[in-house]
Amino acid sequence: MGILSGNPKEEPMHYGEVYSVWMHLSAAKASVAAYETLLNHAGDEDLQKIIKDIIEDTSKQEIEEVERLLTEHGIGMPPTPAKRPEACIEKIPAGARFLDQEIANKLSADIAAGLISCSTVMGQCIREDIASMYANFHTKKAQYATKVLRLLKDKGWLIPPPLHIDPSDC
């Protein structure tokens, strides 16, 4: 029996897995800090709910799972940014405030990047448990991508690229 033929949780992580998982943790921690800040700027209640859900449901859960994995393998953690304080939206000057549309579009772009990142980690993995963990992360991100897209459409915030119209349809 070889080193990679037993229980995946007892197998070593290869350098690519370590790097990708560590970088994901670093990005997730930074995202929590960024979204806490964006939450202070968000005025729309539906947008606020999605931001809170993303922070609690995905980012913090992902952080806990990944930290547990890295700790089990004796790998040091990236720094955790300080929790952002709550601010009164009315005290943020108009020119310094992120608009709800900008926040929602940023969430959409971040989720899209997260989907690609999760897919990349899954493709690099030789440990099934890590690949499965990232498949779960991917699924949650895909669900949030749909929620944010629906929010963008419902609020009129979606700015589509130029639409291709086949001239033969005219």
Q: Tens of pLDDT along the chain (170 residues)?
A: 456 667 777 788 999 999 999 999 999 999 999 999 999 999 999 999 999 999 998 788 999 999 999 999 999 999 999 999 999 999 999 899 999 999 999 999 999 999 999 999 999 999 999 999 999 999 999 999 999 999 999 999 998 889 888 888 77
Q: Do the beta carbons of residue 54 and residue 48 sit within 8 Å?
A: no
Residue 50: name the closest of 91, 98, 111 by CA: 111
Q: Where are the domains of the chain?
A: 13-90+97-156
pLDDT for 8 equals: 79
pLDDT for 5 equals: 67
pLDDT for 1 equals: 40
Measure the CA dihedral 129/131/135/137, to 10°: 80
Look at the domain 13-90+97-156 and name its fold: Ferritin (1.20.1260)
